[in-house]
Structure 1
Amino acid sequence: MTTGPPTADDAPRIPTAPPRRRPTMKDIAERAGVSPSAVSFALNDRDGVSPATRARIREVAEELGWQPNSAARALSGERSGCVGLVLARPARTLGVESFFLQLVSGIQEALAARRVALLFQVVEDLDAECATYRRWWAERRVDGVLVVDPRTEDPRPSLLTSLALPTVVIGDRRAGTGAEAGPPLPYTAPLSTIWADDAAAMRQIIDHLHALGHRRIVHIAGLPGLAHTDRRVAALRAEATRLGLDAADVRSVCTDYSDDQGAEATRRLLATAHPPTAIVYDNDVMAVAGAAVAAGLGVPVPDALSIVAWDDSPLCRVTHPRLTSLVRDTAGFGRLAAQELLSLLDGAPTRRLQAELPHLELRESTTRAP
């Protein structure tokens, strides 16, 4: 006989129950005392059963916890009950950036009210995003898609048209601003668009900083090639020209939206012979990282450097000093986009909708230029 600590083999065996089988239409028919065809008519809102029988069948279905099989419905030509969203962004930037978290929460809120699921995927690049749409279409996984980050050179609209997938683009597809913008980019897809006026928002920021006496203003922007990045850069340039500011002192620097690149760009700018007196960051994460760099270099905010964040978040409100930020209802933006996609799925025509213009919330991170 051996002694020693018990092993896994010595432990008593606890029987496990087999996994519960999902209820079927046949189960409902047996419980309700009707034929399977009557169950199909009742649950698919078709004629052929009396109101009393329909009510009884639905009551039994609820008791059994029955749900329609989305894959089977898709194969039969019915809707899948799901819409898709693909993000071709560096994954490391999404977990900390509040914009997408709020956007997705608004989308989910609108979809949940209609019991529509959201299929969400992060991919490496635009090619992978297009491949995802093709796979979803071939597998009949989604009824429509929400598209973010319109590009100035964008293959997605024509692809989605060829796939006949109802689509809502979140963001303006035009890259310029004002007279430079012209008509929407020549896409052939019948897409709805939900957009915010980035150019007007940038003018708000620059006019505020100019009124405070700032003449050396740098915009730490997001990814190049995105239509909204190009539009903000163009708006900055146009407003600087209108105000008579030197183009060498008012410019944009592109990054990947991450705190690392935001911090590094700030460090380089503050090390120059004539550093900016104000920096505008394209998101809250980069703004907070930039403020930390300034503090580490002994550059006081706002006395020596004013900081503005493009999107407001709790980060901007708890940082010391609190950051002046553009405030907008990002969750509402997402709800509006999801509601528009649901309308397209219900047969409504495509359209172009403008969201409410964000406003600049003045806090302690901006003051008169030194």
Structure 2
Amino acid sequence: MAGRTGRGRPTIAQIAQRTGVSAGAVSYALNGRPGVSDETRARILAVAKELGWAPSAAARALRGGGTATVGLVITREPAMLGIEPFFMTFVAGIEEVLSDRGYALLLQVTPDPDREAKTYREWWSANRVDGIFLTDLAIDDPRLDILEDIGLPAVVVGEPAYARDFAAVGSDDAGAARAAMRRIAELGHRRVAHVAGPESFVHTRVRSAAMLEIGAELGMDVVAEVNTDYSLQAGVTACEDLLARDEPPTAILFDNDLTAVGAVRAATARGVRVPDDLSILAWDDSPLCQLSDPPLSALRRDILAYGEDAARTLLRLVDGDGVTQSVRTSTATLVERGSLGRAPRA
């Protein structure tokens, strides 16, 4: 057939180039959504047919049918994922919504970001899923280019301001970071460190910027930002390195629970008392926080509801209910336990 590329189904970008319209207009036309004229829609559908666009692609959105499956690729070491609390709870929230609709979740775990990107194209080309969740949003994330190209319904789990035109479900990370810093300041701390995830992640950037901004207002010094892979050992190493400084921090904010647990272990091994000598604050508040000794203070957010919101948003997109607005979940709240105390006296 004329115009075929030989690489599977034609892309949104190819149809847009042939018709001389935007990729967004092509997506609207193929998915039966308003936003294009009848004449433009007819032209787009004609070119799509000529290029070999699978007829079921538009019909899926119009009928709410298709595979009744949505996908999630998590780029993590598989062994680590088994003890990383966030994703297990997040997936449970997704399943709460999917099960009510008779949908299944296709989950793939890979340590390779390139493999994740290839998976999206493979799922789309084989019609394996009706939509996907995109997590761990990065600055200038190349995966967004892929999603724009293939036109598969997708929800970005992350800060809406960085999600381009995609629907997004995000929590107020900046607000939570500011609230944590205010409480740390009230307890007399002036030297604070931030143990975060990968530097490229949007939520790392957002939390760090908020900490620096409010720290300057409160007369606090964010003495270091340490980027990690969220693992237990990374928390141990980060804490050891920070405590070895000539002027170590008196409080450390961790971007997940597992690294915070590792920090308690490292501090205890060095004879540093938590919270008398060092305050530790975790993010997410999984059961790990209460099992720690001392129990970890944490920024608690409802991760189950986070997953539910993401699933509802994606299913609305799959159903073709029109443009779905981004959702901002509530700001995390501070739960104080035994790891957060007053700053030690000089």
Shared topology, TM-score over 0.5?
yes
What's the CA shift for 1:80?
Answer: 0.8
Distance 1:242 1:168 in 2: 35
Q: After superposition, where does 1:337-348 map in structure 2 within 5 Å?
A: 337-348=310-321
Q: Which amino acid aligns with 2:328?
A: Q
Letter in 2 for 1:331: L
1:239 aligns with 214
What is residue 269 of structure 1 aligned with on the other side?
Answer: 242
Confirm or deny that 1:365 pairs with 2:339: yes
Residue 189 of structure 2 contacts residue 220 of structure 2 at CA under 8 Å; is this kept in 1? Answer: no
Matched, 1:322 2:309: no
Give the RMSD, CA atoms, in angstroms.
Answer: 1.8
Partner of 2:183: 208
| Partners of 1:214 and 1:352 in 2: CA distance | 36
CA-to-partner distance for each residue in 1:141-178, whole Å, 9 max, x for gaps? 000001101110211222112211001111115xxxxx
Aligned partner (choices 184, 191, 195) of residue 220 of structure 1 = 195
Give the deviation of 1:126 after TM superposition.
Answer: 2.7
Q: How many residues align?
A: 284
Partner residue in 1 for 2:146: 159
Aligned to 1:284: 257
* Letter matched to residue 121 of structure 2: R
Distance 2:220 2:341 in 1: 19
The share of aligned pairs that are identical, in percent, is: 43
Note the residue ranges of structure 2 that are not aligned, 5 or more in a row. 1-55
Equivalent residue, structure 2, for 1:16: none
Shift, 1:125, TM fit: 3.1
- The residue number in structure 2 matching 1:334 is 307
> Per the alignment, in what secondary structure is the counterpart of residue 309 of structure 1?
strand
Q: CA deviation at 1:338?
A: 0.3
Which residue, 91, 95, 101 being the options, matches 1:114? 101
Check 1:125–1:224 CA distance in 2 against 1; reply closer, same or farther (3 A cut).
Answer: farther
Does the 8 A contact of 2:174 with 2:207 survive in 1? yes
Letter in 2 for 1:308: L
- In the other structure, the counterpart of 1:352 is 326
Corresponding residue number in structure 1 for 2:79: 92
C-alpha contact (below 8 Å) 1:92/1:258 kept by paired residues: no
Kindly indicate whether residue 169 of structure 2 is the aligned counterpart of residue 194 of structure 1: yes
**Aligned-partner SS, 2:277:** coil
Distance in 2 of aligned mates of 1:208 and 1:237: 15
Q: In 2 relative to 1, CA 186–218 (structure 1 residues): closer, same or farther, beyond 3 Å?
A: closer
Matched, 1:229 2:216: no
Q: Following TM superposition, by how much is the alpha carbon of 1:186 offset from its aligned partner in structure 2, in angstroms? A: 7.6
Per-residue CA distance 1:210-245 (angstroms, 9 max, x = gap): 110001111111111010011111111111111123
- The CA distance in 1 between the partners of 2:225 and 2:188, in whole Å, is 19
Query: CA, structure 1 residues 289+185, in 2 after alignment: closer, same or farther (shift >3 Å)?
Result: closer
Q: Which has the larger radius of gyration?
A: 1
Q: Secondary structure of 2:246's partner? A: coil
Superposed displacement of residue 246, structure 1: 3.4
Residue identity matched to 1:159: I
> Where in structure 2 are the equivalents of 1:44-193 lying within 5 Å?
79-173=66-160, 184-185=161-162, 187=164, 190-193=165-168
Return the TM-score normalized by structure 1.
0.74
Post-superposition offset of 1:358:
1.1
SS of aligned partner of 1:310 = strand
- Would you identify which runs of 4 or more consecutive aligned residues in structure 1 move more than 3 Å? none
What residue ranges of structure 1 are gaps of 5+ in the alignment?
A: 1-72, 174-183
Query: Contact 1:326–1:358 (CA<8 Å) still a contact in 2?
Result: yes
